[in-house]
Amino acid sequence: MFEWEFRDPWFLILLLLVPLVYLQTRRSKSSLAYSSLSLVAHTPVSLKQRLSALPALLLSLAASALIVALARPRTPQHETRVSHDGIAIMMVVDLSSSMNARDLVEDDRSINRLEVVKDVFLDFVFGGESGVGAGRPDDLIGLVTFAGFADSICPLTLDHGNLGNIVKDLQIVNQRSEDGTALGDGLGLAVERLRRSQAKSRVAILLTDGVSNAGVITPEQSAELAAQFDVKVYCIGAGTNGIAYMPVAGIFGGTQLAATQVEIDEKTLEEIANTTGGKYFRAENRESLAEIYQEIDQLERTEVTEVRYLRYTEHFPYIVAISMGLMSVATLAGSTIFRRLP
């Protein structure tokens, strides 16, 4: 809705003098005496005569515009300045071969663990159908992956669009030489990225479905390092603990699903969470994973400081310009077309 207000409205009282301006302008400076007007009584009135009051009217409008300009007309703009104390979040994702298990989506063996993890994580970043939250637009988010080795895939960034594209392209390792679960290396690399951040709160979300069996740094050492640099670690154990269906090479070629023994080292994940002041979660299906991210979303909220203030758009310069234009037209018309002789 268009709002109009005056900074100095008392100037509008001067509008009462505008009729005097009109009358004063219409007064003749001198006059001629005639004995009789009978000769011109029936003369048709020309258009010029009908518009003879135009200069006086324009000057009156110009005076009105100047008075309105003096009152300083303006429109307020209600604005809010919001400052965000963002959080730095490193996502640490397991890409080992066990992430190919098909147990997080009930009655659908075509979707592996990694695809579910990717979908829910993207909902966590952008907000989405999983009910995770409204997204994290003000937080720095990065990505570290690990299998037999740890890799920093995306640095901490506010460019979540690029991060999303990287997450969508994640693939489970397909070389035996690259397979394994370097849990300590993955977390240690995430802590190294986070310790350089100036964010007030630094968080790592570690998701794995196995047992640490590779790498140079142990999970316990990485946890101590995280605690040293005030990095809180939320650990997620994803998938069933026992038997899960995984694709294996078929006897006659192709692949088929086979029941495979799987294990999650929940004790180590709990120790990491306790050491760093975080929390351990267990996700046995997509719904529980979404609930975990929703809880993390609530636990780690960006602090927002909101300051409301008003800004004004001033209109008096345009009104003054209109007034000057009216005066110029009135003066020009009064000196030429509507010039009056005594």
Q: Are 150 and 188 in contact (CB under 8 A)?
A: yes
Q: What is the pLDDT of residues 209-258, one digit of tens each?
A: 989 999 999 999 999 999 999 999 999 999 887 788 888 776 666 777 77
- pLDDT given for residue 2 in this prediction: 52
Nearest to 194 by CA among 218, 225, 224: 225
Local structure of residue 169 (DSSP, 8 states)? T
Whole-model pTM: value is 0.65
Nearest to 116 by CA among 167, 184, 174, 190: 167
CA distance 267 to 138: 33
Could you list the mean pLDDT of each consecutive 10-residue stretch along the chain, which spans 342 residues?
Answer: 76 89 72 56 59 79 89 76 74 94 85 94 83 79 96 93 95 92 96 90 94 94 96 94 78 74 90 96 92 89 58 84 86 72 52
Structure tokens at 142: 């990065």
CA distance 279 to 300: 12
- pLDDT given for residue 55 in this prediction: 79
Rg (CA), the chain: 39
Domain borders along the chain are 5-27+45-78+309-335, 87-301
Name the 3-class secondary structure at 265: coil
Structure tokens at 220: 């316990």
Query: Looking up tokens 């258009």, which residue turns up?
Result: 47
Structure tokens at 84: 């965000």
What is 87-301's CATH topology? Rossmann fold (3.40.50)
Residues 6+ apart with CB under 8 A from 122: 128, 164, 167, 168
Local structure of residue 44 (DSSP, 8 states)? P
CA distance 179 to 173: 6
- pLDDT given for residue 338 in this prediction: 61
- pLDDT given for residue 23 in this prediction: 85
- pLDDT given for residue 24 in this prediction: 82
